[in-house]
Amino acid sequence: MDIAQPSNENKKPNYSAAGYVKVLAPGTVANLVCGFDILGMCLNEPNDLMEVKLLKEKKVIIHSADGYPLPSDPAQNTAGAPLIEMINELDSPTGFEVTIHKRIKPGSGIGSSAASAAGAVVAANHLVGNVFSNKDLVRFAMFGEKVASGVKHADNVAPCIFGGITLIRSIHPLDIISIPSPDLFVTIVHPQIEVRTKDARQILRKEVLLKDAIRQWGNIAGLVAAFMQNDLDLIGRSLEDVIIEPVRSILIPGFDEVKMKCKEAGALGGGISGSGPSLFMLSRDEATAKKVQTVMQEIYNQIGLEYHTYVTTINKTGVKIIAE
């Protein structure tokens, strides 16, 4: 079953005179603890840098700017596969040459594949005169997520394209709701191990107890209501996952200690970012977010595991065009 049906008529490009665009494609936090595959949040840091050139022939070329081993076959590349789908819906011989500066490490849990997919389609859409809607761009970008994980999901690509916090009510048909984003700070630690999304999905239980499902539904509804009402205490109470996190957390060294001590340091709450291994915590202010960062650093220093940390905020605009 297709995710969303394209229109019967292909789009007529209105080509950009520049024929070139550079974009920042942001990282994202998927799930937001309790909202597996349906909630996502866009970040101001980190970002991939992507350069896209317009071609007047039906092809996609992929380059890695920094030597990072990216698949050169566009059909097997998270940026290339969405562009192939876009090209098939354009009423003119059109192609794109993409150069990716990969700053969001694949397998980090902060939306590396989504950044490539979303950045590519936003840039390409700009070059053909913005003939596609954001919803169309999400539909295309999901083909990149399928390359990465074997499953089309939108909880990373939707916030990356729309900005802020998004709810994926349905993918059959595609239904995306933007949720008001509170002015919170986000602290992220990325332990330098890789957890592949495909592997993290395979260990999940296929069935859940009704009592667990009811508790999870309550947390999802509470979190969405809390964002809409800017109720920070309710955000903290709702950041609980009784289904996915207990299984996936075993893949992440120091998870329980990080979560407990970060909340003791004043964080509202948080958990696994996407499929991990990155962990995120939400805080009311920058001072608290930096305390949380120190806690994360101390724990991973004691464990002896290399890591990267970020203190950032919620990106309310998504992929950003920075030059053309």
pLDDT at residue number 105: 87
DSSP 317: S
CA distance 121 to 200: 26
- Please tell me which residue in 145, 166, 187, 245 is annotated as part of the active site: 145
CA distance 290 to 284: 11
Residue 324 catalytic? no
pLDDT at residue number 186: 98
CA angle (177, 125, 82) in 5-degree steps:
75
- Please tell me which residue in 94, 166, 197, 288 is annotated as part of the active site: 197
Percent pLDDT > 70 in the chain is: 95
pLDDT at residue number 1: 29
Cβ(197)–Cβ(149) under 8 Å?
yes
For 275, the token pair is 């499929």
Q: What is the pTM of this model?
A: 0.92
CA distance 284 to 43: 16
- Is cis: bond before 46, omega within 30 of 0? yes
Element (H, E) at 322: strand 320-323
- For the chain, which domains are there? 20-179+316-323 (3.30.230.10), 185-313 (3.30.70.890)
For 147, the token pair is 């390359």
For 307, the token pair is 């890591």
For 169, the token pair is 């009510």
pLDDT at residue number 2: 37
Residue 197 catalytic? yes
| CA distance from start to end of the chain | 38
For 9, the token pair is 């008529």
CA dihedral 111, 133, 60, 54 (to 10 degrees): -120
Low-confidence ranges of the chain (pLDDT < 70): 1-8, 195-203
CA angle (76, 280, 155) in 5-degree steps:
40
